[in-house]
């Protein structure tokens, strides 16, 4: 009588990882294989207790179905608890640096606008101003209402120039 667990964990592409957390009452031999190629991804013997399989990469070019086999030693019945996962690590580092670059450039432009006497400020002033679709600057008349202490309101004429 052999006490073993044989189970399909799932399909994993190249670049994915397999890991597992296992508790067993007896010494156990663990093997992870790719079914399509019979490639052994991980194989080791562990003593009784709880152990983790480190993140093991799938190295086959096309990936494959990951198959888990755990066999207890000396053909004795052993209770086992197994949690196995397939995962993929995604890094966003290139996008992080693009964001840092854009924020840095925006910060430098803002400083140049506030300190117009510097070379960067003079360069910032050369950036074309926003105009309306016709291409000319637009003048708007603003209506500003001012409260007078006696409770009435008066209108202050003003001219706001938007360029």
Mean pLDDT, residues 13-39 taken together: 87
Return the pLDDT at 155.
56
**pLDDT one-digit tens code per residue, 60-94:** 888 888 988 888 877 777 778 888 888 887 777 77
The DSSP annotation for 31-98 comes to EEEETTTTEEEEEEEE-SEEEEEEEEE--STT-EEEEEEEEEGGG----EEEEEEEE-----HHHHHH
Q: Is the pLDDT of residue 162 over 80?
A: no
Domain covering 4-87 in this structure, CATH number:
2.60.40.3110
Structure-token pair, residue 163? 């360029």
Return the pLDDT at 152.
61
Return the pLDDT at 117.
82
Mean pLDDT, residues 10-34 taken together: 87
Q: What is the DSSP letter of 15?
A: T
The DSSP annotation for 87-156 comes to E-----HHHHHHHHHHHHHHHHHHHHHH-TTSHHHHHHHTSPPP--TTSS-EEEEEEEEEE-TTS-EEEE
Residue 64: Cβ within 10 Å count:
20
Return the pLDDT at 119.
81
Mean pLDDT, residues 128-153 taken together: 56
At residue 163 the predicted structure's pLDDT band, cuts being 50, 70 and 90, is: very low
Structure-token pair, residue 122? 């003079």
Compare 60 and 160 and report the one with higher pLDDT.
60
Return the pLDDT at 122.
79
As a whole-number percent, the residues of the chain with pLDDT over 70 amount to 76
Q: Which helix (H) or strand (E) holds 26?
A: none
pTM: 0.52
Per domain, the residue ranges of the chain are 4-87, 93-129+138-162
Residue 87 near residue 35 (C-beta atoms within 8 A): no
Structure-token pair, residue 154? 């008066």
């Amino acid at each position: 009588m052999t006490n073993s667990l044989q189970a399909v964990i799932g399909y994993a592409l190249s670049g994915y990882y397999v890991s597992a957390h296992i508790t067993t009452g007896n010494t156990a031999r663990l093997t992870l294989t790719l079914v399509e190629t019979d490639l052994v991804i991980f194989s080791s013997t562990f003593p009784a207790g709880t152990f983790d399989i480190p993140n093991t990469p799938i190295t086959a070019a096309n990936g494959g179905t990951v198959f888990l086999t755990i066999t207890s030693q000396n053909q004795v019945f052993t209770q086992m608890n197994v949690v196995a996962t397939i995962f993929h690590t995604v890094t966003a580092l290139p996008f992080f640096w693009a964001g840092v670059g854009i924020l840095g450039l925006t910060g430098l432009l803002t400083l140049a606008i506030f300190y117009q006497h510097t070379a960067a400020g003079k360069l910032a002033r050369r950036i074309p101003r926003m105009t309306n679709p016709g291409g000319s600057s637009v003048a708007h008349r603003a209506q500003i209402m001012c409260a007078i202490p006696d409770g009435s309101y008066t209108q202050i004429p003003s001219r706001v120039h938007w360029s």
